[in-house]
Amino acid sequence: MLAVFLVLGCGAGHPSPPSRPNSEVQSWNACRILDDCTWSLGEGGWPAAVNAAGLPAYQEWVRSQAPFTTYFMPGDCFAYNDEFEAYLSRTKSSVACVAGSCVLETEPSCTR
């Protein structure tokens, strides 16, 4: 799934993100049209494409996970903060609804 960067292959060899219950993933990422989707910061500070109606629940879930979870962080992928900021900027315009799921169509190019 492309919706959350951590699921992508950029972080090969790094810890995997915690898994979410399927019912939450389905409601947070479900879409019929692009307007159903929105951009948000997700787990570990990475961008995510989520269902706009489910955004508050998704953000609450992210906040509840942060104190208890170790993430693959932007500093583990990008050598410089401005590279991560440029990636964040690109992701804001890459939200899409693909096969019934909100996704980001932009993948990071890690420099570390």
- Residue, of 26 and 95, whose pLDDT is higher: 95
- One-letter amino acid of 34: L
Q: Model confidence over 8-45: pLDDT tens digits?
A: 334 443 333 344 555 555 588 999 999 999 999 998 88
pLDDT of res. 27: 81
What b/e sequence results for 15-40 when a residue is b if at least 16 CB atoms lie within 10 Å of its CB, and e otherwise? eebeebeeeebeebbbbeeeebbbbb
The model's pLDDT over 34-74, given as tens digits with 9 standing for 90+, comes to 999 999 999 888 999 999 999 999 999 888 886 666 778 88
> pTM for the full model?
0.73
| Alpha-carbon torsion (40, 103, 31, 27), positive or negative | negative
Phi, psi of 73 (to 5 degrees): -95, 160
> What pLDDT shows up at residue 26?
58
What are 111's strand-pairing partners?
none
